[in-house]
Amino acid sequence: MNTIEFISHSANETEFLGAALGKSLNIGDCAALFGGLGAGKTAFARGVGAALGVSDVCSPTFTISMEHEGRIPFVHMDAYRLSSAEEFFELGLDEAFPRAAVLVEWADRIQEALPERRLELTFKEGKGDCERVIVARARGGADALLEKFVCKANVGANCVRPRAVTDRPYM
């Protein structure tokens, strides 16, 4: 299993999905988030933070990187204002990867700077205003992390849980 697609019908469902990932993350894991403005990346990050014991996650658009002390060190980045991977390295932001769980919004801005082993989450518009299609893909051997995440997302009798709708081969 390398790629799986979820449908979310509300910001709450997206947060729930984020929480499933938060429960699965360890130090050294990286979640790279793709998708435009309002796609739900920060909603997802809030859920990740909540599951790690961090309640004040908001978009670090101006500070670019925000570190939180949860169950493990959690670094939340927003690369929107960066223009290249070089800029990311110049700011020394890559130092976080080996010592924290790192979530990067607007990961396309700095794609070359991302660790090879990562979970990619692509947020796309769905039907209507509130539906989002969230595609999770394991890169560079992150398959076990993806499986753990999918398992947590499907566990429990939570009525808002998103459903995995496809299980597609790696593309």
Ligand X SMILES: Nc1ncnc2c1ncn2[C@@H]1O[C@H](COP(=O)(O)OP(=O)(O)O)[C@@H](O)[C@H]1O
In whole angstroms, what is the distance from residue 48 CA to residue 110 CA?
21
**41 interacts with Mg ion by CB under 5 A:** yes
CB atoms within 10 A of CB 150: 19
CB of 21 closer than 8 Å to CB of 8:
no
**130 interacts with ligand X by CB under 6 A:** yes
Q: What angle do CA 117, 60, 96 make, to 5 degrees?
A: 35
Give me the residue whose beta carbon is nearest to Mg ion.
Answer: 42
Question: Residue 59 or residue 154: which is nearer to Mg ion going by CB?
Answer: 59
**35 interacts with ligand X by CB under 6 A:** yes
- Encoded one letter per residue, x for contact with ligand X by CB under 6 A and - for no contact, window 46-85 reads -------------x--------------------------
Rule CB under 6 A: choose which of 19, 29, 32, 41 binds ligand X. 41
**64 interacts with Mg ion by CB under 5 A:** no
**140 interacts with ligand X by CB under 6 A:** no
Q: What angle do CA 100, 162, 79 make, to 5 degrees?
A: 35
For the bound state, the minimum distance from the C-beta of residue 34 to ligand X, rounded and expressed in Å, comes to 10
